Structure formats: structure tokens, C-alpha cells
Amino acid sequence: MNNEIGTRYAPNKIEKKLYSFWLEKGYFSPKKDGPKYSIVIPPPNITGKIHMGHALNITLQDILVRFKRMNGYKTLWLPGEDHAGIATQTAVEKNLEKEGKKREELGREKFLEIVWEWANTYRKTIKDQIKAIGASVDWSRERFTLDEGLSKAVRKVFVSLYKKGLIYRGKYIVNWCPRCKTVLSDEEVEHKEHEGKLYYIRYPFADGTGEIVVATTRPETMLGDTAVAVSPSDERYKHLVGKEVILPLIGRKLKIIADPYVDPEFGTGALKVTPAHDPNDYLIGQRNNLEFINIFNDDTTLNENAGKYQGLGRDTAREKIVEDLEKEGYLVKVETLQHSVGHCYRCDTVIEPMLMDQWFVKMEPLAKRAIEAVENGEVKFYPDRWKKVYLNWMYEIRDWCISRQLWWGHRIPIWYCKDCGHINVSEEEVHVCEKCGSTNLRQEEDVLDTWFSSALWPFSTLGWPDETSDLKEFYPTNVLVTGFDIIFFWVARMIMMGYEFMGEKPFSDVYIHQLVRDKFGRKMSKSLGNGIDPLDVIEDYGADPMRFSLALLAAQGRDIKLDLKHIETSKKFANKIWNATRFVILNLKDFEKEELNNLNLSDRWILSKLQKTIKNVTSAIESYDFNLAAREIYNFFWDELCDWYIEVSKPRLNSEDKTVVQNILVKVLDNSLKLLHPFMPFITEELWQKLPTDGESITISEWPKIDDNLIDETAEKRFELLKNIIKGIRNVKAEINIPQSKKVNIVSTIKFDQEEELYIKTLAKVENISYSNMKPEKAASAYVDNENEIFVELGNLIDIDTEVKRLTKKIEKLEKDAEKFRKKLNNKKFLEGAPEEIIEETKEKLSNIEGQIEKIKKILKSLM
């Protein structure tokens, strides 16, 4: 074991070296025994670099996996990537457009060759990024949603659901992206508030006796109107139900119908019904047996059903139709309106509701078991509030449109017979029609929604449909760590498919992690330019500080406001870890491992605090309270180990007592590095290997065990008293401008033994300690409780009167500063208009000032 240690922490010199070491040793593959623990990674899309949200997701999973591995579990963390159908095809097409090429010109086969090149390039990039973060995934089991094994699983699932009658093809109103030329699921549509217009249009009665006025935000769709609807409870229109109106500009006769969907309060209370281009109108059309007229081509130009407007784009058509309505006297008025408009989540194009033939999965039969699993606690959400979100969606679940008009993805395993029209469904390539024997077949052009293959991820990645040893051993997995935005896309569908095809849940726990925002609480985005690239952070600070910062901020139920100053703080912590370990190693000359005997107060205190830290860190990780675990080990290492125990130990390292303190330091440091390892794997590995401990790697070392015999409440209570006294003496010196190196005398009502006196004299720079129940003249109080008080004798060190005046003025200034902040926090406009972080910062400043005032008042009181 090489115990030489550099003078400074240099992450760039150790991280790649250590990751290669772990891979060479095969530490990330499951060992041969132990209880099993498995996680499948949420597969990143192959559309670019991973972002800070991915870094958080990967870090939290790695904490769990490393923790379980050290606790003796047979761990598998399975990595992989998602082919991301729409996103990847869109990205590749944009690249081709820059070269003046279009996929239609290349043809399907050539285009897919280009996309596969893209996929392989970005899969490697993503893999390297995940390695840089330090993820202990088993790369020997890496999967891709389009690899042969997963394709086999997808085909089997499709065929099975089809034969059960759960997959069907039908006309339905869908979300159509005219830019991507594909259907989107409801969850893939992003709704944004727009300032639009509400157009009031006259629809004259066919018998010439009057008119009814309707209000619409989309006058161009009137060309596909097949009715006008009113509420059955609306007294204004009851007598008109059944009457016919003439569709302006077109001349088609429409009936006035009554339907409960219509809101009497919106517009005029009369609704134009366009069943082929609005999801709610579609349902009205079904209920009332209306005609469905599609007026759009797939690029949202108007088709032959639009009459003289055929060929116009939808925006141009709107302008022309409004112009004609006004010219012919049909337009009553136009109002400004704020309303929600659906956009494609990938290209931001306004989506168009279209009536189209698509493939669907019947979801209600699949949802029943998945609802029960969450209701009865078989699958638990953390934080628990996401359970309600999941169930609300599942109770209202609609059939899933699974076909996408793309080339990149799992092509639907359907072959149409051109001779007899039979639909052939098969897991294998079909060359002969099973009904008539014809070879004149055409495979379905559409591919499956990306989430179809992702829904099988927990079991398809383990080898299903084959009965593999991995599937038998590691399914169901233990936990899924993911973001709230894909609860419906992915989590719900995995639960449904797990029960349908494996007969059991895909995971026991679902941990919904936080959204990483910028320091002002804004969502990170390209448009705002406020993103933080995890690879840049790793380059500048190291992977461990980034990981530790993310864990420290990962409080359940709260988004993360990430500022680089957080990473800077964690980098300082890493330096502290490095320097403390270096100090210990440099003071291990003639080290001999011994049983821990003849312990003094500080030894008993640090060992007792260590046991409680082990307990608290372990409990917090097991309950997914990553921030509490990180905070616990941070406070122990920095405050108790470095600032106190190492400091009180320094004189002993040059004494006859050095063997005891060396063994304590090695034991505490060994356990501390192990507790830190899941959070900061690189630095802990580098330093642990330099300690005189058994084992080749901290990665496979044993997680610290709690020794109840070492918990010593008496020692903790006494040492905490000494800490408070020492801090009190230092505070007195700081407030009355006595250098910390200047030795002072103290008077105490508390009796200390020789060891305790040594701590006070060494750490507080005290010359002499005397004991008395009387307050000395010219003294300041350094510590006080219900029974005792300790004074710093000031003697000729200061002029008491001058010091009283100075401290009084200081309090007055601090009170003025505090009052400014109090006024701000009592100002309603400030509280309503200021960003949350500014309000919190103001509260923190006020709290700090009030703390200073309280300390000075205590000193001032003792001087007077």
C-alpha cells in the first residue's frame, strides 16, 4: 500500500485512474452471494449531453448502490440508453437540413444508417459522461432500447396485447405535430399561455328567421363544422334545439344540438362543433352521431374539404376567412383572450388535433392492477404526495396512442395482405399471408411510441422474454429513481407492464427526485442561458464536490436552487478531507494496531459521536433523505473530527500516549471515509487506500457497524460543555479585540480535571484557570448556564469604560441594520414582488445580525 499523499487535492489526477481501477477489478458486477439489490437506470435519451438533472439522478442512484454494496448486498445497477424516437429523428433531420438533404430523398434504409451512426456516437458520449460522474453501473450489462434483445421483447408484448384484444387500430382525435409529422401523446404536449382572439360569428337560421352567434378562437376550423351545440340547461336556447343553421362561407346546413359539455358562461353559450379537429368536439360528435370532416393535410395546409381555401396554411387561412366573414357581414366582433395552446414538446410547433387512423392500447384493463399496487402499498412513492398525482391520472386514464409516423424506432410488427386485406401480426418477419397464402404483403410504416419499449425496461433489460438467470435473480428491482415529469410517460406504464407480463411489480419504491433550477429558482434552459453543464463542473471542481452538493441540496419535496458557490463550498470540504487525512497519515510513524484501551474524555466523546453519525447516516440513506445523510457526515467530519478531535489530539501525537490516539484517528477516519464513500467515491477511495487498513478498495469494504458499547452519553455531555466554554472564550476575545493568540486568565465556578484544563488552555489560549463563585472585577462572561458561569479576566488588557462605549455603539449600529431588514420583511410589496431567494437571504441576514447583538449584549452585561 502506497501511503504517500500529495500536498493538495487534485481531482483531475485521480478520478479517471480510479474509475479504470474499479472497472478492471470488476467491482460493479454482482458478487456471488448476499441478498440482492437491483436498480435499472432511467435510460438517457441519445440526443446530446446529460444535464444537471441527469447528474442528480445518477448521483442519488449511486449513493444507494454503493451503500448497499458496502452492506453486503449482491448489487446490480444496470445501465442503458433510450433511442428517443421523435427527439433523435428531429435532431438528425435538422443536421441533414444544414447539408441541404431530406430524409425522404435518402429513403428509409439510408436514413436509418445515418441515425444509427448518430446513436452509436452519442451512446459513447453518454457512457463517458456517466463514468465521469463516478456511477458504479455494471457496464457488462449495458442495454439500448433498440438492441436485438429489447426488440424481441417489444414484438412479443405487442403481439400478446394484440391477441388479447388490448391493441386495436381506430380513428381517433390525436395530437398531430405538423413539423415532426407524427402523433404525440397527451403527455407530450406542452400547454403554454397565449394572447389570442375570440371571434364572434353569425350562423343564420336556414329558414331565414334569424341567427345564432357562436364564439371561437379558431375560425379556420369552421370549415369542418357539423353542428352547433348549446347546453341543455340554457334557457336562452332550449327552443332552438333541432333547428338548422347555414354554415357561413360554405353553405352547409348544420343542426343545433344540446350537449352537457357546453359551458353557458363561455362566449355566447353557443359552440361550433368540429368533431375532426377538437378532442371535446370529437366526443360531442360521437354522442350525437355527427359527421366527421377533416379539413387539414398532414402539414396543416387545408385540403379539398376546405373549398376555395384549399392549399392555404392554417394561419393564412385564418386571416383570409376572418377577412371574408367581415366582408360578408358574418363577423360580429373580436375580443382579446388569454388561453392555453398545445405545443410539441420537441420542436415547439403548435399541435393540431386531427382525426386519424392510429394504433392504440386499451389502458383500463391494464391500469386496474397498477392502481391497486399503489393504493395498498406494494409500490410506494417518496415523497408520498406523488402517490396522489399518480392515482389521479390512473383513475382518469385514456387509451394510449402507440403509433408514431417516424422511421426511427421499433417498427410495428403488422403486415397487411394486399390481396385479401388480412392483418398479419407476428413476432417474426412475415413473408406469407397466414389467411390466403399471398406473398404480396406490406409492413406497417409506423413505429411504436418510444415509451412502449421503455415501459418494459425493468424486465426486458434482464433478458425477458428468455428465462435468464438475471431475470430470475434481479426482478423485481428495488427502487426507481426518476423525475416527476415522467410519472405518466414511464413510471405508470412500467408498473402496468410489470404486472401484465411478469405477474409482479417492477420495483418496490419510486423515489421522485428534485428539479434542479438555477440559483434564482428558474428552470434551466437554453433560451435563458442559465444551464450548468455537469462536465464543466467536474472539470473545474471535480466530480465529488458536485455530487456532494447535489446530495446536500436534495431535500424531499423541494426543488434544488443550484449556485456554483454550493459546489465551491463542497470543494472546500473535499480539501478539508484531504488535508485532515494527510495530517493523520504524516503522524502515523511507528504505528501499531492495538485494541482501544485507556481512552481519555476526548477519545470516548469522538467514538460516541461516530456511532451516532453511523446510525443517522445509515437511517437517512435508507429513507431516501439524502440531504440529511450528507449534512450529518459533513458536520461530523468538519466540526467534530477536524475542528475538535484532531486539534485536541495534536499534543498527544508527540507523547507516550501517541499509540492510543493514532488508533483512534485511524478508526474514526476509516469509518468517516466509508460513510462519505457513496457521496464522494473518488477522494474517499484515494485516501482510504493510504490508511493502514485491511482491504484493497473502499468500494467493496464493509459499511461501518454501530458499536453500542462505545456510546457514552456522559463523555458527550462533558466534552460538549468544554466546547461551549472554549467557543465562549474565543468569542469574548473576538468581540473586545483581543488577539486569539493572546493568553488570558479565566475564573470558573465549574471544577475541571487535569485533562479538561489542558483542552481549555490549549484550544482557548488560556494561561491560568482559577476557581471561585464570585465574579472578578474587570471580567467578561464567556459561558453561563443555570448553575455556573465562567469569566475572562480582562485586568489591564482593555479599558472597561472605553470598551463598554464601543460595544454599545456597535449594538446601536447593528440594531439599525436589523431594523432595515425587519421593515423589508414587513413590507407586503417586497414579500409579494421579490424572488423567494432574496426574501430568504434577507431573513438570514436579519438572523445573523440578531445573533451578533445577543452575543454582544451578554458580554456588555458582564462588563457593567
- List the chain domain ranges: 190-350, 536-711, 726-863
User: What value does the mean pLDDT take over residues 434-446?
Assistant: 95
Q: Following DSSP, what letter does each residue of 90-153 receive, concatenated?
A: HHHHHHHHHTT--HHHH-HHHHHHHHHHHHHHHHHHHHHHHHHHT----GGG-EETTSHHHHHH
| pLDDT higher than threshold 90 for residue 780 | no
The full 3-state SS of 179-214, as one line of letters, equals CCCEEECHHHEEEEEEEEEEEEEEEEECCCCCEEEE
**pLDDT tens column, 120-174:** 999 999 999 999 999 999 999 999 999 999 999 999 999 999 999 999 998 888 8
Task: Please check whether residue 231 is in contact with residue 265, taking contact to mean a CB–CB distance below 8 angstroms.
Answer: no
Distance CA 52, CA 57 (A): 9
Distance CA 823, CA 833 (A): 15
**pLDDT tens column, 55-110:** 999 999 999 999 999 999 999 999 999 999 888 988 898 899 899 998 889 999 99
Q: 669: closest CA among 607, 617, 627, 744? A: 607
**pLDDT tens column, 622-653:** 999 999 999 999 999 999 999 999 999 999 99
Distance CA 571, CA 551 (A): 14
Dig out the grid coordinates for 243 from the structure.
333547428
Query: What is 536-711's CATH number?
Result: 1.10.730.10
**pLDDT tens column, 202-233:** 999 999 999 999 999 999 999 999 999 999 98
Q: Which residues are annotated as a binding site?
A: 526
CATH topology of domain 190-350: Isoleucyl-tRNA Synthetase; domain 2 (3.90.740)
**pLDDT tens column, 3-40:** 678 888 999 999 999 999 999 999 999 988 899 999 99
- No. of H helices and E strands in the chain? 27, 29
Q: Which residues are annotated as a binding site for ATP?
A: 526
User: What value does the mean pLDDT take over residues 663-691?
Assistant: 97
pLDDT at 60: 97
| pLDDT higher than threshold 90 for residue 669 | yes
Helix 601-622 to helix 754-763 angle (10° resolution) is 70
The values of phi and psi at residue 779, to 5°, are -140, 150
List all residues 6 or more positions away from 292 whose beta carbon is below 8 Å from its beta carbon.
171, 226, 275, 276, 282, 285, 355
**pLDDT tens column, 714-767:** 999 999 999 999 999 999 898 888 899 999 999 999 999 999 999 999 999 999
**pLDDT tens column, 402-423:** 998 899 999 999 999 999 999 9
